[in-house]
Amino acid sequence: MNSGQDRRDGSGGGKRQEILAAATDRFGRDGYEHTKWADIAHDVGVGPTALYHYFESKQHCLFEIMDEAIEDFRSSFVAITTEERDPARALAAVMADSFELSEQEVHRNRVLVAEQGRLSHPSSARPEEEARQAARARTRDLEFAWASFLDSAMRAGAIPQSDARLLTRAVLGLYNSIWHWYRPNGIVGLAQVGDHFTGLALAMVGVPPQTLAPRQSAA
């Protein structure tokens, strides 16, 4: 999950990434609605109007964060499933990788699941609407990658036959649900949550436990 930080160069460069990082922390910690645009400006050491050089609005910034998060999930998924040809091992590696998160990436996941409803509502401002549509298209790409992978695994007999699209939604829904309640530095550690939910996701998909070696390291 560490791939996206330097993905966008060009438009704004370092300061733009700084703003995205500061906004991710604020939105994740305090909630999107409870964060003021001016607080983010303060965090990165610029005046509030300077932010508009990079983003049209707070919501534009939110959609960019969501888009980047989804793209990181998608590119990691493709990289891991291309590298590891065994479907069961690939699934285990994808799950393990999806719990190797910095605190900022945990915040980003929280933002993604807490605010996903906003992606359903068209915006009248153009850059905002473009970012919204990009994030939605990215979500469809991620779901398509998962469903194609699960469908192949079913055809190969590695997992039981079922509806690959519904199964995709179940696996992603189970994973996303974690970020509604998980708090960094809470009672339950991330490694424990990761082990438990990885096991549950594999049981749901129907990977027989004995097909996996004792412990796979994430790609």
Residues within the interface to its own copies (CB under 8 A): 31, 33-34, 114, 116-117, 120-121, 162-163, 166-167, 169-170, 172-174, 176-178, 180-181, 188, 192-193, 196-197, 199-200, 203-204, 206
Which residue, 148 or 177, has its beta carbon nearer to its own copies?
177
Residues 6+ positions from 51 with CB-CB distance below 8 Å: 19, 37, 40, 41, 61
Which residue, 44 or 112, has its beta carbon nearer to its own copies?
112
- Candidates 197, 15, 188, 2; CA nearest to 96 is 197
Residues 6+ positions from 122 with CB-CB distance below 8 Å: 129, 132
Shortest spacing between CB 187 and its own copies, in angstroms: 10
Which residue, 4 or 28, has its beta carbon nearer to its own copies?
28
Q: Which tokens belong to 90?
A: 């690939």
Shortest spacing between CB 73 and its own copies, in angstroms: 15
Q: Which tokens belong to 8?
A: 């966008």
Q: Which tokens belong to 82?
A: 């291309």
Shortest spacing between CB 63 and its own copies, in angstroms: 15
Shortest spacing between CB 174 and its own copies, in angstroms: 5
Which residue, 38 or 203, has its beta carbon nearer to its own copies?
203
Q: Which tokens belong to 199?
A: 């096991």
What is the rounded distance in angstroms from the CA atom of residue 180 to the CA atom of residue 191?
A: 17
Torsion of Cα atoms, 81 then 85 then 87 then 91, to 10°: -40
Which residue, 125 or 203, has its beta carbon nearer to its own copies?
203
- Candidates 137, 142, 32, 130; CA nearest to 94 is 142
Shortest spacing between CB 177 and its own copies, in angstroms: 3
